Structure 1
Amino acid sequence: MAQHPQETVIGRITSVFGVKGWLKVYSYTDPVDGILSYRHWTLVHDGKRIAAELDTGRRQGQGIVVKLKGIDDRDLARTYGGAEIRVPLSELPDLPEGEYYWYQLEQLSVYTVEGERLGKVDHLLETGSNDVLIVKADDASIDQRERLIPYLPDDVVREVDLAAGRLVVDWDPEF
């Protein structure tokens, strides 16, 4: 499903937790429990948008569990499994200069330092050691290959120009 231009995905509901309507959440925020600072969520599930309000939540092992207002039993909670959790962009905190949210990097045109166009950033992956840009070819690319480029500012990623919609990488196009 296409993302609304004024919101971003911050996590997803994975399954139920217990019998009183609690839900397990996979958070895309850093730190992981940062998702708990957003009280008003839009859940997107099976093409439907559902307004939800966070009642309470906490770390549970490696993950997060939450209780949403109005969801008080396991059967109702189960219907939300797989839902994306979205918040308005206006609720995201400002980042220091040189840091970016993933949504800001998606769809940027990617060029090598020599000026060769590799395609556009489709999405990013978190690998543990560093994030990875998934760059998909487009009509203006030098070829039709998909590339996985490590997101390493000042090393591989040399320039991010959001206004111009451009990202410059020190990357061999043969990779």
Structure 2
Amino acid sequence: MDKLIIVGRLGRAHGVRGWLHLNSYTTPKENLQHLRPWQIEKDGRWQVIEPEAILQHCQKPIVKLPHCDDRDAAACFTNCPIAILRSQLPKPDINEYYWSDLEGLTVINRNNIKLGKIINLFSTGANDVMTVEEIDELGKKQQRLIPYIKHVIDEVNLQEKVIRVDWD
């Protein structure tokens, strides 16, 4: 089964004609406009929606959804996540990975010590960072932040679901 990847979120209503602000999680941000169709989660259900239009307003994107003709209708979609099927994403280059493919992988250091699983990735602007969570024998969670940079990452093996790192 093809998994859904969150690629953005609908923001607050814009104006009185049913437009919404659009928050893209893609890099570059404009890529979200070309990934179609969208699936939007509203009231706990995913629904396929094809945006009617996307415009730039004050250098920020706004979107018009079908049957969303006034501010009240648009407000119902505020903060709804936007997803696409994983198969809609272009194939990454060699040694490049989508964050969604790395989440859940086990992180092991050069001493063959399991550091935990990747639960999240984020960008600092300078580089990307993995949030790695380990659960000890008592069930206590411990998180560590490990930079996702060339001299730290030794190997990514998606088949074995493992990332090997140079980290203590």
Structure 1 and Structure 2 fold alike (TM over 0.5):
yes
One-letter amino acid matched to 1:170: D
SS of corresponding position for 2:100: helix
In the other structure, the counterpart of 1:167 is 163
Cα displacement string for residues 114-165 of structure 1 (whole angstroms, at most 9, x for unaligned residues): 211000000111221111101011358xx9521011111x211111000000
One-letter amino acid matched to 2:154: R
SS of corresponding position for 2:50: strand
One-letter amino acid matched to 2:35: Y
One-letter amino acid matched to 1:106: E
One-letter amino acid matched to 2:158: L
Q: How does 1:1-150 map onto structure 2 within 5 Å?
A: 6-61=3-58, 63-138=60-135, 144-150=141-147
Counterparts of 1:21 and 1:167, CA distance in 2: 45
One-letter amino acid matched to 2:157: D
Using a 3 Å threshold, how does the CA distance of structure 1 residues 43 and 56 change in structure 2: closer, same or farther?
A: same
Runs (5+) with no aligned partner, structure 2: none
SS of corresponding position for 1:36: helix
Counterparts of 2:27 and 2:87, CA distance in 1: 17
1:37 Cα deviation from its structure 2 partner = 0.2
Q: What's the C-alpha RMSD, in Å, of the aligned pairs?
A: 1.8
Q: Is the 8 A contact 1:157 1:169 kept in 2?
A: yes
Q: Is the 8 A contact 1:36 1:58 kept in 2?
A: no
SS of corresponding position for 1:104: helix
Counterparts of 1:129 and 1:93, CA distance in 2: 25
SS of corresponding position for 1:34: helix
- Normalised by the length of structure 2, the TM-score is 0.91
Moved more, 35-44 or 62-71: 62-71
Counterparts of 1:163 and 1:62, CA distance in 2: 41
Using a 3 Å threshold, how does the CA distance of structure 1 residues 44 and 117 change in structure 2: closer, same or farther?
A: same
One-letter amino acid matched to 2:164: V
1:60 Cα deviation from its structure 2 partner = 3.5
1:61 Cα deviation from its structure 2 partner = 4.1
Q: Is the 8 A contact 1:120 1:138 kept in 2?
A: no
SS of corresponding position for 2:135: coil
Cα displacement string for residues 43-97 of structure 1 (whole angstroms, at most 9, x for unaligned residues): 1134122221112213444532111222121110000011110111111011110
Runs (5+) with no aligned partner, structure 1: none
Counterparts of 1:150 and 1:25, CA distance in 2: 29
Q: Is the 8 A contact 2:132 2:146 kept in 1?
A: yes
